[in-house]
Amino acid sequence: MQLWLIPFFPLAGFLINGIFGRRFSKSLVNTVAVGSVLLSFLWVLKTISAMGDLNTPHVEHYFTWIQSGAINIGCDFLVDRLTIVMLLVVTGIGSLIHIYSIGYMSHEGGYYRFFAYLNLFMFFMLVLVLGASFLLLFVGWEGVGLCSYLLIGFYFDKKFATDAGNKAFIVNRIGDFGFSLAMFYIFKNFGSLDFDKVFQQAASAPEWVLTTIGLLLMVGACGKSAQIPLYVWLPDAMAGPTPVSALIHAATMVTAGVYMTARSWVIFTHAPGAMDVIAVVGIATAFLAATIGLAQNDIKKVFAYSTVSQLGYMFVGIGSGAFSAGVYHLVTHAFFKALLFLGAGSVIHALSGEQDMRNMGGLRKKIPITFWTMVCAWVAISGVPPFSGFFSKDAILLAAYGHSPAIYWIGVVTAGMTAFYVSRAMFMTFFGSYRGKAHPHESPAVMWVPLAVLAALSLVGGWLFPIPEFLKGIFPAFEEAENHMLMYISVFAGFAGIGLAYLMYVVKPGMADSLAQTFKAPYQLIYNKYFVDEIYDATVVRPVVGGSRIVLWKGVDAGLIDGIVNGVGARCRDVGSLLRLLQSGNIRGYATWVLFGSVALILAMGLYGGLPR
């Protein structure tokens, strides 16, 4: 079925734009970049139509990649229903965001570079999704990390952007280290990295082995999907252009961890301990990130913490055993969070780069299309029925209740806070009176058409794509408790959040500030993101930097290595100044030494038996 064509198109786009893009006109760059992703999307659709019901995975073998002793790793692509879901999300939303980027990036420098990176990202993301072994998945995993780094630091002339890129890269290394260890351990125990072989044997493996593997995989997922304690890179990653935030840091790349854990469900279902850890980490992340989101003023920061929080939800779903619910939320979240980011991008674009919500307000009339599309995302993420977020969030919360009621209740509170902070962002941006200076203007059609498509998906995506139904054959059957009471509670929490935000930011605009004054300590705590960055700085970064400075730089490098190198140099100079006496500059002097040397050589040959007989 030529699956390789799916990632091939973006790769070709990357190569063409990356090599020749500098000389291309903008429209040609657009054609190549958007065209390649659209072709990829169309090929996915064609693949789906040709695949039939896909109850059994379809694997294509291309070539043997690594063959060494017992290791035999092929370049295999795999398609099953989970892959189909991911492929549609990645290529579909990817196409929309590529189109949007044409408008958003039109005034930016490095135009072709941006699209080349974006295409490269699509390539790696598709390899990640299609790979039929952990190693191939890891190739995509690292590749998207690289593209993420490149795109966060896209404005490389700004220090904070490059710092954010470095932070994302370094924090992800910790997660990738866990993932690598997991792969080593998998290979040690199962002798293979192919999904089918590993999962076949995993069911009968000892539980502690699976728990170890599961926890290590979870470390990897924590890095890529921004879970506690490795979530710190994601909010900073908003330094990149907004379409990047939407595509990579909301819709696709950060969900790779969710995809990976869902893919490895066999390992996790046999390792309940690891599942519990995932659920707890997930809910803790969801809750903490939501509280931080309450007090942020940068519109992209709000949505960044929202992303962290929603990813936490997905992990709650995975950890509760409801893998399909996790993937379901992944899909709906991709719709509405991409929409929120693109909408935020549209607002920022309209205000010529302003990101602080305190300088916005009253934009409802000025940029109506953006406003109405974002309203769709707003209701979706707040869990208002019957929009997409409601279905998936409800599925996760139900599963969580079956797992542990405590997680459910925290989840409900988090849902309320989610509704609150998104509403707050909406009210601060679009309601009230305009507080900024720039002259707002509506975005061009090339930007709002993708917004409109995503808005429609956010509204109806929930029941248009019944993901749990679709994935039923893949994941183990999950007993879903029919409990309407629980549903009402979570919906109520959402409405409560919206209502509270309406009260605080529209009815009585001064109330938020006075509350912040009253609860100064907690407000400062969440406003400063629990000082996590400062804590990491003090406990991890500074000791490492200090240790490197004192031990590695001053001690090893300056003392030992420089000492050796300089010592060798100094001794050579001493010897040289002695030998210099021989270099009289007189040819006959040299010839005398040559003669001396040949005499010595013949003597040595004679003495040591170099002569025959």
Partner 1 sequence: MMNAVPISWFLTLSAILFALGVAGFLFRRNIITVFMSIELMLNAVNLSFVTFSYQHKEVSGHLFTFFVMVVAAAEAAVGLAIILTVFKGRSTLNIDDVNSMKN
Partner 2 sequence: MDVILFLIFALIAVACAINVVVQTHPISSALSLVGVMGSLAVLYLLLGAEFIAAAQVIVYAGAIMVLFVFVIMLLNAGAETRKGRSYLIPGAPLLIVFLGLMAFVVQRIFPDSTMVRFGGFTGGGPKDVGTALFTTYLLPFEVTSILILVAIIGAIVLARKEIDQ
Q: Which residues bind partner 2 (CB under 8 A)?
A: 586, 588-589, 592, 595-596, 598-599, 602-603, 606, 611-613
Q: How far is the CB of 154 from partner 1 (least distance, A)?
A: 55
Where does 19-126 show beta strands of DSSP type E?
58-68, 71-79
| Chain centroid to CA 66 | 27
* Cα gap 209→578, rounded to integer Å: 66
Q: How far is the CB of 570 from partner 1 (least distance, A)?
A: 21
Close Cβ partners of 212 (under 8 Å, ≥ 6 residues apart): 185
Q: How far is the CB of 578 from partner 2 (least distance, A)?
A: 19
Q: Considering only residues 52, 353, 510, 585, which one is a binding residue for partner 1 as defined by CB under 8 A?
A: 585
Q: Give yes or no for a contact between 58 and 83, defined as CB atoms under 8 angstroms apart.
A: no
Q: How far is the CB of 591 from partner 2 (least distance, A)?
A: 8
Q: Which is nearer to partner 1, 70 or 611 (CB)?
A: 611
* DSSP bridge pairs for 356: 298
* DSSP-based three-state secondary structure for 59: strand
End-to-end CA distance of the chain: 76
* DSSP-based three-state secondary structure for 66: strand
Taking CB under 8 A as the binding criterion, the range among 151-159, 431-439, 472-480, 589-597 that sits at the site for partner 1 is 589-597
* DSSP-based three-state secondary structure for 75: strand
Backbone φ/ψ region at 2: left (φ over 0), alpha (ψ -120 to 50), beta: left
* DSSP-based three-state secondary structure for 24: coil
User: Which pair of tokens denotes residue 312?
Assistant: 């936490």
CA distance readout (Å), 255 to 223, 306, 352, 417: 11, 14, 30, 22
| Chain centroid to CA 245 | 9
Q: Give yes or no for a contact between 327 and 286, defined as CB atoms under 8 angstroms apart.
A: no
Q: How far is the CB of 171 from partner 1 (least distance, A)?
A: 58
Check residue 603 for interaction with partner 1 (CB under 8 A): no
Q: List, in sequence order, the alpha helices (H) in 519-556.
A: 520-527, 532-536, 542-547
Check residue 587 for interaction with partner 1 (CB under 8 A): yes
Q: How far is the CB of 74 from partner 1 (least distance, A)?
A: 56
Q: Which is nearer to partner 2, 67 or 592 (CB)?
A: 592
Check residue 576 for interaction with partner 1 (CB under 8 A): no
Q: Which is nearer to partner 1, 156 or 593 (CB)?
A: 593
User: Which pair of tokens denotes residue 273?
Assistant: 């301990």
Q: Which is nearer to partner 2, 437 or 613 (CB)?
A: 613
Close Cβ partners of 44 (under 8 Å, ≥ 6 residues apart): 6, 84, 87, 88, 91
Which among 272, 257, 282, 281 is positioned nearest to 211, based on CA atoms? Answer: 272
* DSSP bridge pairs for 61: 76
Q: Which is nearer to partner 1, 433 or 586 (CB)?
A: 586
User: Which pair of tokens denotes residue 177?
Assistant: 């280290």
Residue 437 binding: pick among partner 2, partner 1, none (C-beta 5-8 Å cut-off by kind): none
Q: Which is nearer to partner 2, 539 or 592 (CB)?
A: 592
* DSSP-based three-state secondary structure for 380: helix
Q: How far is the CB of 583 from partner 2 (least distance, A)?
A: 15
Q: Which is nearer to partner 2, 561 or 595 (CB)?
A: 595
Q: How far is the CB of 581 from partner 2 (least distance, A)?
A: 14
Q: Considering only residues 591, 600, 601, 603, which one is a binding residue for partner 1 as defined by CB under 8 A?
A: 591
* Cα gap 93→99, rounded to integer Å: 10
Residue 606 binding: pick among partner 1, partner 2, none (C-beta 5-8 Å cut-off by kind): partner 2
Taking CB under 8 A as the binding criterion, the range among 153-161, 230-238, 518-526, 582-590 that sits at the site for partner 1 is 582-590
Q: Which is nearer to partner 1, 204 or 586 (CB)?
A: 586
| Phi and psi, residue 204, nearest 5° | -105, 5
Taking CB under 8 A as the binding criterion, the range among 475-483, 499-507, 524-532, 579-587 that sits at the site for partner 1 is 579-587
Check residue 25 for interaction with partner 1 (CB under 8 A): no
Which among 355, 306, 342, 374 is positioned nearest to 103, based on CA atoms? Answer: 342
Check residue 613 for interaction with partner 1 (CB under 8 A): no
Q: How far is the CB of 589 from partner 2 (least distance, A)?
A: 7
Residue 609 binding: pick among partner 1, partner 2, none (C-beta 5-8 Å cut-off by kind): none
Q: Considering only residues 23, 484, 588, 613, which one is a binding residue for partner 1 as defined by CB under 8 A?
A: 588
Check residue 600 for interaction with partner 1 (CB under 8 A): no
Tell me how many residues contact partner 1 (CB under 8 A): 9
* DSSP bridge pairs for 133: 194
Q: How far is the CB of 586 from partner 1 (least distance, A)?
A: 5
Catalogue the long-range contacts made by 492-495 (C-beta closer than 8 Å, 24 or more residues apart). Answer: 493/383, 493/412, 493/413, 493/415, 493/416, 493/419, 494/382, 494/383, 494/384, 494/390, 494/415, 494/416, 494/418, 494/419, 495/382, 495/384, 495/419
Q: Which is nearer to partner 1, 559 or 606 (CB)?
A: 606
Q: How far is the CB of 194 from partner 2 (least distance, A)?
A: 54
User: Which pair of tokens denotes residue 13?
Assistant: 């786009």
Residue 405 binding: pick among partner 2, partner 1, none (C-beta 5-8 Å cut-off by kind): none
Q: Give yes or no for a contact between 218 and 182, defined as CB atoms under 8 angstroms apart.
A: no
* DSSP-based three-state secondary structure for 194: strand
Taking CB under 8 A as the binding criterion, the range among 405-413, 421-429, 526-534, 583-591 that sits at the site for partner 1 is 583-591
Residue 556 binding: pick among partner 1, partner 2, none (C-beta 5-8 Å cut-off by kind): none
Find tokens 């690594």 and name the residue. Answer: 66
* Max Cα-Cα span within the chain: 113
Residue 612 binding: pick among partner 2, partner 1, none (C-beta 5-8 Å cut-off by kind): partner 2
Q: Which is nearer to partner 2, 558 or 594 (CB)?
A: 594
Q: Which is nearer to partner 1, 558 or 591 (CB)?
A: 591
Q: What is residue 298's DSSP assignment?
A: B
Residue 582 binding: pick among partner 2, partner 1, none (C-beta 5-8 Å cut-off by kind): none
User: Which pair of tokens denotes residue 142?
Assistant: 């690292």
Q: Which is nearer to partner 1, 571 or 580 (CB)?
A: 580
Check residue 586 for interaction with partner 1 (CB under 8 A): yes
Check residue 595 for interaction with partner 1 (CB under 8 A): yes
Q: Which is nearer to partner 1, 481 or 587 (CB)?
A: 587
Q: Which is nearer to partner 2, 464 or 595 (CB)?
A: 595
Residue 599 binding: pick among partner 2, partner 1, none (C-beta 5-8 Å cut-off by kind): partner 2
* DSSP-based three-state secondary structure for 528: coil
Check residue 437 for interaction with partner 1 (CB under 8 A): no
Tell me which residues touch partner 1 (CB under 8 A). Answer: 583-588, 591-592, 595
